[in-house]
Structure 1
Amino acid sequence: MSNALVPVLAVVGTGLIGGSFAAALRRVGQAGRVLGVGRNPASLQRARDLGLIDGIADLSQAAAQADLIFLATPVGALAPILQELAPMLRPDTLITDAGSTKSDVARLAREILGDRHTQFIPGHPIAGSEMAGPEAADPMLYHGRKVVLTPFEDTPGLLQHRLIRVWEACGARIALMTPEAHDRALAAVSHVPHFLAAAYMAQIIHAEDADTRLNLAGTGFRDFTRIAAGSVEVWRDIFLSNRTAVLRELDGFDQALQALRATLEGDPDPAALEALLEQAALARRFWGGRSQM
């Protein structure tokens, strides 16, 4: 029997997130056998060729063999996966996910798994890239990054500790939150920024001189719009599943934008414009320095 934290790991979705999770645990010798599960045979074979997984399995095989099942799929795909896993799930198998929203995931787990929902601990690693596929897998993706876990009130402490140890083996730092608090915070610092980057790119490419604008764009534009290149399927599901919080944040952003715009309309107000810009600049500098601590 393997002495690894996870003797048998099943990764559902072997792209950037799932592949990196497997690679991170393998790097530190904490994953024994790794099974890959997915809907794309070519992607699974590529993950196997890259050494991310040892074998290819279906959900029934994963449920029968795995000690930990890591769901690295779009949030919209979780319901049918949980429905298929539920009747075959071993009582000692732990399930977690990597979805960017947590309230919907927690609700689905309760509805579909019933009394066995305590075997599921919703999670969200705050890490990623615009890259996709098994080739994008990086064993250091989670090193030094935060991973939010939103356990249920009745989640057994031993299971929670077990998952924390697994993530810490990947080099991650753990934060515990409620699903609702997670979704509010992520709407502000992740979901709405992506929404705005996508909207801005759409505005640029529909301009008559789009080619000229893009040819003149520098690193600031590239940094601002980089996240718009992310998986369309993943982000569609994020926006729909967290729409209430996203819409609330968009309302707040609209107020801030209107206040800034007002300093330019009519008789421009240089002092008010400078004050708003200074406020934003100081906040960003302070956060930037603190985030490196």
Structure 2
Amino acid sequence: MFTNITVIGLGIIGSSFCRAVKHVMPNTHITGIDQDELIQEVEKTDLVDRALPASMLAEGCRSADLIVLATPIQAALDLLPEIARHSSENAVVTDVCSLKAQIVSQAQTLFSGKNGWFIGGHPMAGSEFSGFAHADPFLFQNAIYVLCPAAGVPEQSVRKLADLVHAIGAHGVLVQPDEHDRIAAAVSHLPQMLAVALMRYLALKNEHNPLYLKMAAGGFRDMTRIASSPFTIWRDICDGNREKISIELDGLIDVLTDLRQQLNEGNLEHAFEEAARTRLSIPRDTRGFLTNHFDVTVVVEDKPGIIARIASPLAEAGINIKDIQVLKVRENEGGTLRLSFESEEKRMQALAVLRESGLKCEKK
């Protein structure tokens, strides 16, 4: 395992990485690097063992056996050459950016083993919060963590980083950089474009009739939640993956055109059935579980303490809830929760415990 880690960028991902490592390997020495004003605040906490301003990046890199670039894409690209000048032999340098082809390609020309090896990284985890004050040691648990080694990186170095990823609770997956960006365009960037498009379309309709927004609840809210993501996060992604996103938009337009034709012909049943079948194949947890999970739905009342009423007997029985999701809820009427468990055995145990507690539940 790594013993001396430097994390550059102490936003929610970088700071949570620090917390996650300290949680499982408390003796690991962690150096955090960020802008001067933020570092002054970090120094007042126990987030890292050593806090350095950006002007001391070279100092932070020299002694590290793992350097984690936890910055936006463009900042990471700008910092790579300086890191390469100061990183030590056989150190591992990685990033957390959501695009991989460009940064791995650039790193390929900068790192050769004598100054470390580069392994692109993309933890598919996030938070509605920002800043190191909200650092979460469990942010990466059950999350897919993509690893994209540059050409020539020794298997031992890849395994070392993969072991760390596993230690903080994530599932490491090896993917080629270009394949990563192509898949991300379809499953991450395209949904963002669609959410923005739906909200723009509704805004136009609402200009003429305010009932559109008033009636936009349930499914529409779920589909467009990510439209609230700030453009500052998406600017570099859209610029860096423009061609692949454009290809996916063209593909979606083709599908919508076909769907319109099927609608006009009264022939939508097959499309709906195919969509439903495909939907069942998607991992149920948005953090990207790689293993099957076993679900239980629980009908609950709308009142304080209901989550505790569910969780407490399960905890007493030693049953771990892998995921919990609100499916339907109405004020004063209650709703339905979906609980996910790691095995059929745990699901059956949970059903017995919950029913014994007087809760209405069933396998899903």
Q: Please tell me the TM-score bracket, short chain as reference.
A: 0.7 to 0.9
The letter for the 2-side match of 1:281 is: A
**Which residue does 1:140 correspond to in 2?**
138
For 1:194 and 1:169, how far apart are their aligned partners in 2?
A: 31
Paired position in structure 1 for 2:119: 121
C-alpha change, 1:220 and 1:116, in structure 2 (3 Å) is farther
Gaps of 5+ in 2: 294-364
Mapped pair 1:284 → 2:279: yes
Give the deviation of 1:122 after TM superposition.
Answer: 0.6
Q: Distance in 1 between matches of 2:247 and 2:114?
A: 33
What percentage of residue pairs aligned between the two structures are identical? 35
Measured after TM superposition, the shift of residue 212 of structure 1 is 4.5
Which structure has the highest helix share of the two? 1
- Please give the per-residue CA displacement for 1:89-143, whole angstroms capped at 9, x wherever unaligned: 2113211011111110111112344675861111111222343222332211111
Q: Separation in 2 of the partners of 1:31 and 1:221?
A: 47
CA contact 1:30–1:169 (8 Å) conserved in 2? no
**Residue 31 of structure 1: CA displacement?**
5.7
Task: Name the structure with the higher strand share.
Answer: 2
Identify the match of residue 18 of structure 2 among 18, 22, 27: 22
What is the aligned partner in structure 2 of residue 166 from structure 1?
164
Deviation at 1:213, TM superposition (A): 3.7
1:150 counterpart = 2:148: yes
Judged with a 3 Å threshold, the aligned counterparts in structure 2 of structure 1 residues 213 and 34 are, in CA distance, closer, same or farther, namely farther
Deviates more, 1:166-175 or 1:149-158: 149-158
- Which residue identity lines up with residue 38 of structure 1 in the other structure? D
| Paired residue type of 2:156 | L
The CA distance in 1 between the partners of 2:109 and 2:239, in whole Å, is 19
| Structure 2 letter corresponding to 1:218 | A
Task: Write the distance in 1 (CA, Å) between the matches of 2:104 and 2:98.
Answer: 12
When the two chains are superposed, the root-mean-square deviation of aligned CA atoms in Å is 2.5
Higher relative contact order at CA 8 Å, sep ≥6: structure 1 or structure 2? 1
Within 5 A, what are the aligned runs for 1:106-117?
A: 106-113=104-111
Residues 121 and 146 in structure 2, CA contact (< 8 A), matched pair in contact too: yes
Equivalent positions of 1:250-289 (< 5 A) are 250-264=249-263, 268-270=264-266, 272-288=267-283
1:79 to 46, 65, 77: 77
Once residues 154 and 29 of structure 2 are traced to their aligned partners in structure 1, the CA distance between those partners, rounded to angstroms, is 25
Q: Which has the larger radius of gyration?
A: 2
Rounded to whole Å, the distance in 2 between the matches of 1:95 and 1:199 is 37
1:208-228 per-position Cα deviation (integer Å, ceiling 9, x unaligned): 168654443324333222223
CA contact (8 A) 1:118 1:154 kept: no
Which of 28, 49, 66 pairs up with 1:32?
28
1:192 to 2:187 alignment = no
- After the TM superposition, which of the residue ranges 25-34 and 237-246 deviates more from structure 2? 25-34
- Unaligned 5+ runs, structure 1: none
Aligned residues: 284
Alpha-carbon spacing, 1:194–1:116, altered in 2? closer, same or farther (3 Å): farther
After TM superposition, the structure 1 stretch with the greater mean CA deviation from structure 2, 116-125 or 87-96, is 116-125
Contact 2:89 2:113 in 1 (8 A): no
The answer to whether the aligner puts 1:64 opposite 2:62 as a matched pair is: yes
Deviations 1:166-203 (A, max 9, x none): 11111111111211111111111111111221232333
**What displacement does 1:255 show?**
0.6
8 Å contact kept, 1:82–1:113: no
